[in-house]
Amino acid sequence: MTITEAPLAQSTLFRFATAGSVDDGKSTLVGRLLHDSKAILADTLDAVTRTSADRGFGGEGGSTQKIDLALLTDGLRAEREQGITIDVAYRYFATDRRSFILADCPGHVQYTKNTVTGASTADAVVVLIDARKGVLEQTRRHLSVLRLLRVPNVVVAVNKIDLVDFREDTFRAIEADVQAVAAQIGVTDVLVVPVSALEGDNVVERSAHTPWYTGPSLLDVLETLPTTDEVERGLEPFRFPVQLVIRPQGALAPDLADADDAGTSFRDYRAYAGQVASGSVSVGDAITVLPSGSTASVVGIDFAGRTLDRAVAPQSVSLRLSAEIDIARGDVIAATGTFGEVSQDLYAELCWLSTRPLREGSKVLIKHGSKTVQGLIRAVTGKLDLETFELGAASGLELNDIGAAQIRLASALPIETYALHRRTGAFLVIDPQDGNTLAAGLVRDHPGDHEDERYSI
Ligand SMILES: Nc1nc2c(ncn2[C@@H]2O[C@H](COP(=O)(O)OP(=O)(O)OP(=O)(O)O)[C@@H](O)[C@H]2O)c(=O)[nH]1
């Protein structure tokens, strides 16, 4: 496969997120990763060292003076709290082997919200378990959500292993519980690593305190797991959510030659800018616009003032089309013949994120990419039982519940099944009164297609 004149750096980034209950040590773990992989700036480290000393930080159960690595994460978070609906910031760091983007979410109580948000685009999620507590209901919930989100790699870090005296039997018991839950919900190949985020054991370097553990350190795992971009995104059917319509005479037109080989003059330039969400597109390809169904073919692909023959996920480009069709921001340009019917009836899995419960008959807003339409909750079709991992009957959903619902949309959206399209199959449910996020939704097939309502996709 050749990708010409394209920025490849983006596709080699590895996206990961952390999930865990409050105080499991997410911030400390992230701080430790940044610190030991030497990814933090010296002045930041100085500031954190001073603040830790001022506070007499000794860590949980620790006696010696240490630096509070959680400050690295929390301090950076505070700088960018913006009151946006979904509060995830992305942090970049690099080791010799790989560049990382970490979806950095506040811990707090709304753990499901943060897990969903951070994990929905991740190549991997690190689930933290406190070695003293083992697998809790929240661990089961996190693993269920990750399965729903189809996160390609799940790594479990059994943290605070120092607080159980680095005991192998404690670790093995937790490892067995994790594997049992994973098998029950159909997550395969879960790696379980014993770590101490505070002391640094098995985070970046393998630890002498756990001679019985022969696997890789957490960073080794993160450096070697395959990325979704490399494996999947280029192979899926082409999808291109339109972020910006560039109109004729627009100041936004790129610096193209006066006329290119498709005969488009600068003054007539009309293009659709966005990021290739999945698959690839070449000049000459037939495309269909969702939800309108209009068709055309691609006559030009522009990137930073140059023209390309082909673009692949996750490149950001502008597409020029053979016909002037009505395309709005939020529409999706797709390869012709690769999607089902666009419908106003939506069947979805919902991760309910609000203290305001979901009830049948509620009116909500459905936000998909940059489009928002009204929706009516016609039926709650099930709620996940975290013991059996089956969908049981329910008439509503409460905070942190995972369930399924049927929603009637006021107008069709270019939404597809999440199982087929991770990036175009997800949406948010918004409270029409105050604009708060109520739920994250994942589009599923019509339930009639599945006789068995058991939790599996
Ligand atoms: N002994 C020990 N203490 C730890 C370890 N990891 C974290 N801690 C302590 O556990 C407490 C909670 O750690 P945080 O990193 O703030 O945990 P968190 O609540 O998951 O983080 P956020 O919710 O993301 O802020 C702090 O007192 C840490 O110092 C560990 O491996 N060993």
Residue 455 lies in a domain: no
Instruction: Check residue 237 and give its pLDDT.
Output: 86
Instruction: Check residue 449 and give its pLDDT.
Output: 47
d(CA 212, CA 206): 11
Q: Which domain holds residue 380?
A: 343-450
Domain end marker among 187, 215, 230: 230
Please name the residues in contact with 195: beta carbons below 8 A apart, sequence gap of 6 or more.
29, 157, 158, 159, 161, 201, 202, 203, 218
What's the rounded mean pLDDT across residues 357-364?
94
Distance (Å) from CA 130 to ligand 1 centroid: 9
Instruction: Check residue 256 and give its pLDDT.
Output: 47
Residues 117 and 223 in one domain: yes
Closest Cα to atom 29, ligand 1: which residue? 59
The ligand 1 atom nearest the CA atom of 196? 31
What is the chain's alpha carbon radius of gyration, rounded to the nearest angstrom? 24
Is 194's C-beta closer than 6 angstroms to any atom of ligand 1? no
Closest Cα to atom 12, ligand 1: which residue? 23
DSSP structure string for 298-355: EEEEEETTEEESEEETT-EEEEEESS-----TT-EEEETT-S----SEEEEEEEE--S
The ligand 1 atom nearest the CA atom of 128? 20
Work out the pLDDT band at 376, boundaries 50, 70, 90.
very high
What residues does 345 pair with on adjacent strands? Answer: 408
Asked if pLDDT for residue 233 goes beyond 90, the answer is: no
d(CA 271, CA 246): 5
Domain end marker among 182, 210, 230: 230
Instruction: Check residue 204 and give its pLDDT.
Output: 93
Is 129's C-beta closer than 6 angstroms to any atom of ligand 1? no
pLDDT, tens digit (0-9, with 9 covering 90-100), for 250-306: 444 444 444 444 444 555 678 999 988 888 999 999 999 998 999 999 999 999 888
What's the rounded mean pLDDT across residues 119-136?
89
Confidence (pTM): 0.71
Is 20's C-beta closer than 6 angstroms to any atom of ligand 1? yes
> Do the beta carbons of residue 65 and residue 49 sit within 8 Å?
no
Instruction: Check residue 79 and give its pLDDT.
Output: 39
Q: Contacts from 369-373 at CB under 8 Å and sequence distance 24+?
A: 369/241, 369/330, 369/332, 369/414, 369/424, 370/241, 370/243, 370/329, 370/330, 371/329, 371/330, 371/331, 371/413, 371/414, 372/430, 373/409, 373/410, 373/411, 373/413
Instruction: Check residue 11 and give its pLDDT.
Output: 41
Asked if pLDDT for residue 337 goes beyond 50, the answer is: yes
Residues 223 and 239 in one domain: no
What's the rounded mean pLDDT across residues 210-220?
96
Instruction: Check residue 80 and give its pLDDT.
Output: 38
Work out the pLDDT band at 310, boundaries 50, 70, 90.
very high
| Structure-token match 């004729």, residue found | 248
> Of 128-142, 225-239, 267-281, 406-420, where does mean pLDDT reach its minimum?
225-239
What's the rounded mean pLDDT across residues 52-71?
61
Rounded to the nearest angstrom, the gap between the alpha carbon of residue 334 and the centroid of all alpha carbons in its chain is 22
Crossing angle of helices 42-54 and 70-79, in 10° steps, is 110
Distance (Å) from CA 181 to ligand 1 centroid: 24
Kindly report the CATH number assigned to the domain that includes residue 226: 3.40.50.300
Work out the pLDDT band at 358, boundaries 50, 70, 90.
very high
Instruction: Check residue 248 and give its pLDDT.
Output: 65
Asked if pLDDT for residue 455 goes beyond 80, the answer is: no
Residues 222 and 253 in one domain: no
Distance (Å) from CA 26 to ligand 1 centroid: 6
ipTM given for this complex:
0.97
Query: Does 296 or 437 have the greater pLDDT score?
Result: 296
List the structure tokens of 8: 């490849």
Residues 320 and 349 in one domain: no
Residues 226 and 240 in one domain: no
Is 401's C-beta closer than 6 angstroms to any atom of ligand 1? no
Residues 55 and 164 in one domain: yes
Residues 263 and 221 in one domain: no
Instruction: Check residue 252 and give its pLDDT.
Output: 46
What's the rounded mean pLDDT across residues 168-178?
97
Residues 303 and 441 in one domain: no
Instruction: Check residue 454 and give its pLDDT.
Output: 38
Kindly report the CATH number assigned to the domain that includes residue 372: 2.40.30.10
Asked if pLDDT for residue 162 goes beyond 50, the answer is: yes
Residue 1 lies in a domain: no
Distance (Å) from CA 311 to ligand 1 centroid: 43
Residues 83 and 117 in one domain: yes
Residue 457 lies in a domain: no
Residue 446 lies in a domain: yes
Residue 323 lies in a domain: yes
The closest alpha carbon to 446, from 377, 375, 347, 379, belongs to 347
Strands (DSSP E) contained in 250-315 are 271-275, 280-282, 286-290, 295-303, 306-308, 310-312
d(CA 221, CA 143): 18
Query: Does 87 or 401 have the greater pLDDT score?
Result: 401
pLDDT, tens digit (0-9, with 9 covering 90-100), for 70-112: 666 655 444 334 333 334 556 777 888 888 888 765 544 445 5
Task: Name the residue type at position 171.
Answer: F
Residue 38 lies in a domain: yes
> Do the beta carbons of residue 34 and residue 93 sit within 8 Å?
yes
Residues 156 and 256 in one domain: no
Is 69's C-beta closer than 6 angstroms to any atom of ligand 1? no
| pLDDT mean across residues, the chain | 80
Residues 161 and 146 in one domain: yes
What's the rounded mean pLDDT across residues 403-426?
86
Domain end marker among 179, 212, 230: 230
Instruction: Check residue 108 and give its pLDDT.
Output: 47
Distance (Å) from CA 192 to ligand 1 centroid: 19
Residues 399 and 358 in one domain: yes
Q: How many domains does the chain have?
A: 3
The ligand 1 atom nearest the CA atom of 199? 31
Task: Name the residue type at position 319.
Answer: L
Rounded to the nearest angstrom, the gap between the alpha carbon of residue 89 and the centroid of all alpha carbons in its chain is 12
Query: Does 143 or 408 have the greater pLDDT score?
Result: 408
DSSP structure string for 117-181: HHHTT-SEEEEEEETTT-S-HHHHHHHHHHHHTT-SEEEEEEE-GGGGTT-HHHHHHHHHHHHHH
What's the rounded mean pLDDT across residues 357-366?
94
Residue 81 lies in a domain: yes
Provide the 3-class DSSP secondary structure of residue 393. coil
Residue 456 lies in a domain: no
